Amino acid sequence: MADNADQSETELTRSKSVDEKVAELELKTRAVHDAEPLTKILVLYTGGTIGMVTKNGVYEPEPDCMVQKLRALPIFHDAEYGDAHFCPETEANHLALPLLKSKLKTDGQPSPNGLTKEEFRVLFTVEEFEPLLDSSNMNMQDWATIASRIQDNYDQFDGFVVLHGTDTMAYTASALSFMCEHLGKPIILTGSQIPIYEVRSDGRDNFLSSLIIAGNYCIPEVLVCFNEKVFRGNRTIKNDATSFSAFKSPNMAPIVTLEIDISVDWAGVFRSGTTEKFRVATNFCPNVGLLRIFPGITAQTVRAFMQPPMQGVVLQTYGAGNAPDNRQDLLQLFREATNWGIIIINITQCTHGRVSTSYATGKALRETGVIPGGDMTPEAALAKLGYILGKDSWSLDKKRKMMSRNLRGEMTTSIQEEISIMDHELIESVARTLSLSSKDEIVKLRDALYPNLMCAAACTGDVQALEKLRQTGGNISAANQDGRTALHVACRGGHFSTVQYLLHHGASVHIKDYHGDTPLIDAISGKHMAIIKLLVQTGAVIPLKPEKMAVELCSAASQNDVDTIRAWHEAGADLNVCDYNYRAALHVAVCTYNTDVVQYLLDNGANTDIQDIFGNTPMSHAEKLCYHDILKMMGQESAVNHIE
């Protein structure tokens, strides 16, 4: 009998549909995900050496190989976790890093998911391009494809990693930095000099480091990760074809250094400082080019280069931006081209340094209408030209002005004296009391105190105090011991002008505190509608899973709390979302006879026919309970007459 029972149970299990298996796995995964700190990363595999295999003695891309190979590498995939929580039929390209020890040096900065435990996990999904490309075959349309993929998945993931060939990686990183407007999450490009499947490969460290940084540091930039360093993408050049240190950033220090500890230069992070949603600009002008000045270059060569359809030229000159001022034929050509409407940007041929007008030869170029490009790399200057010239709604004058403006941290606009952190009286006083003297000790003190000082200022809406803290070295997005930033606090307190100030200085709407709440959740809790609208306009989305959102809505419905439901709805909540028993807010509002909530829900698209786990709908509840007025709200006059 026991054998027959076991056999029957086995047959029952085998007969389960794919949908049932998926549902079971979702329930298992939900329990684990609720208990374990997780971040989700989208990996866009475009091609390049990192995923190539050896065929006939040479490296070639191999489609549908990357995920399979990664699953076989324990450092990239926890097979036990994957078998238990990923459905083979629908999540074949999902992988999970092993649990990571929280030894990361965050310098008081929050991660995007508000991690608090000793261990955390990064989940990543791999999307493979078809066909896979050697980066030498990359073009502007491929840049647009990458940017569009990120835009389509922006709200579903905490960060993005782009696996890319090294030859044109700096061009792609520069282009993405301009195309991705109002960016609030990390996008990291990486690759390798040796394929990841080889016994000796730099690809493993590069990819793993990129996943960890993207999953645990809210750096809202396009970055390049290579050989234990993370650079700003539009400051990067490929410097060496034979070394693992293939990339360098000649005019800017790395933003992240990966050693025993991970050190982030938070002061160097560029923030958009806008209150607009993330978007992608894919209209990229292809009529741009690089022209390198050399001794004896002829006017005919330059004139031929400037012919239509050319619209923008990156002029690479000597030293600090110099060209021969005794060549009136060249200067006249540059002047004519500028008058034709061609935008010419002047950058140096030197790897390190910037364009200036200290020399007469550099001043002569400026007088012809050529725009100084500061210390931009050739890749960044070319990408910036293509991006700006693609703005069809901008006038030529505005395009020229924008070329000289620092848009994404691609150029150093001015050299300012660093404000000493000792300038703040409180820091100086505490340091003196604790007998601190070294700069490192005082920096640690500032990192410990400033987040709490900023939260205290935000609590009272003291913008002046926030500005003083910011000017003396404080990071506007720094989190206190509870993972809360000044923006969280200002949103909870309803200080609209303070929220505006923080957003305009680059505060992130995506950072979660130690409860997993973003500033938007604080604004919803405080029912501050104007702040909710501002945050949503900036790109904030509700971070809760649908079931948890439904629990919040049902709780508010049970208390006849229309304002809370209105706040959730204003933030983007679906009023028809269901909890773990498939009950929507309208079910609860009907059963508790909270007619104010019922009316609001019906006015805003609530569905009267959603079935809960017992097969009941809001309408059937009203019929069974003989709630005539609610049935009339639902437009069910016939049901009322039938009951009567």
Residue 550: which of 585, 521, 526, 524 has the closest Cα? 585
Confidence of residue 637 (pLDDT cuts 50, 70, 90): low
Q: What does pTM read for this prediction? A: 0.79
Confidence of residue 1 (pLDDT cuts 50, 70, 90): very low
Residue 495: which of 451, 543, 536, 528 has the closest Cα? 528
**DSSP H/E element including 361:** helix 360-367
- Residue 331: CA count within 13 A, CB half-sphere: 16
Confidence of residue 470 (pLDDT cuts 50, 70, 90): confident
CATH fold for the domain made of 546-643: 1.25.40
Residue 74: which of 44, 38, 45, 98 has the closest Cα? 98
The region of weakest confidence among 17-26, 115-124, 237-246 is 17-26
d(CA 369, CA 13): 76
d(CA 159, CA 211): 9
> Mean pLDDT across the stretch 370-393?
95
The region of weakest confidence among 474-483, 554-563, 605-614 is 474-483
Residue 315 CB burial class (10 angstroms; 0-12, 13-18, ≥19): buried
Residue 111 confidence (pLDDT) = 59
Residue 13 confidence (pLDDT) = 45
Give me the percent of the chain exceeding a pLDDT of 90.
55
Given a cut of 50, whether residue 100 has pLDDT beyond it is yes
Superfamily of the domain at 421-538: Ankyrin repeat-containing domain (1.25.40.20)
CATH of domain 288-403: 3.40.50.40
Residue 129 confidence (pLDDT) = 93
d(CA 513, CA 491): 13
The region of weakest confidence among 183-187, 324-328, 371-375 is 324-328
> Mean pLDDT across the stretch 443-456?
78
Residue 293 confidence (pLDDT) = 92
Given a cut of 80, whether residue 110 has pLDDT beyond it is no
Catalytic residue among 29, 49, 106, 617: 49
Confidence of residue 71 (pLDDT cuts 50, 70, 90): very high
Residue position matching structure tokens 């609001």: 600
List the domain boundaries for the chain. 36-280, 288-403, 421-538, 546-643
Amino acid, single-letter form, for residue 132: L
Residue 231: which of 211, 216, 251, 205 has the closest Cα? 251
Amino acid, single-letter form, for residue 109: Q
What backbone phi and psi angles, to 5 degrees, belong to 438? -75, 155
Out of 55-59, 230-234, 238-242, 269-273, give the one with best mean pLDDT: 230-234
288-403 and 546-643, same CATH topology: no
The region of weakest confidence among 464-473, 523-532, 592-601, 603-612 is 464-473
- Other beta carbons less than 10 A from residue 351's beta carbon: 11
Give me the percent of the chain exceeding a pLDDT of 70.
84
d(CA 519, CA 531): 10
pLDDT in tens, 43-54: 999 999 998 887
CATH fold for the domain made of 36-280: Rossmann fold (3.40.50)
Confidence of residue 414 (pLDDT cuts 50, 70, 90): low
Given a cut of 80, whether residue 357 has pLDDT beyond it is no
d(CA 557, CA 576): 12
> Mean pLDDT across the stretch 429-444?
60
> Mean pLDDT across the stretch 378-406?
95
Confidence of residue 174 (pLDDT cuts 50, 70, 90): very high
Given a cut of 90, whether residue 433 has pLDDT beyond it is no
What's the whole-number average pLDDT of the chain? Answer: 85
Given a cut of 90, whether residue 21 has pLDDT beyond it is no
Active site residue 592: no
**DSSP H/E element including 223:** strand 222-226
> Mean pLDDT across the stretch 9-24?
48
If one compares 104 and 431, the residue with the highest pLDDT of the two is: 431
Given a cut of 80, whether residue 545 has pLDDT beyond it is yes
Confidence of residue 33 (pLDDT cuts 50, 70, 90): very low
If one compares 23 and 433, the residue with the highest pLDDT of the two is: 433
Confidence of residue 191 (pLDDT cuts 50, 70, 90): very high
The region of weakest confidence among 79-83, 125-129, 309-313, 494-498 is 79-83
d(CA 182, CA 506): 10
Residue 9 confidence (pLDDT) = 47
Confidence of residue 136 (pLDDT cuts 50, 70, 90): confident
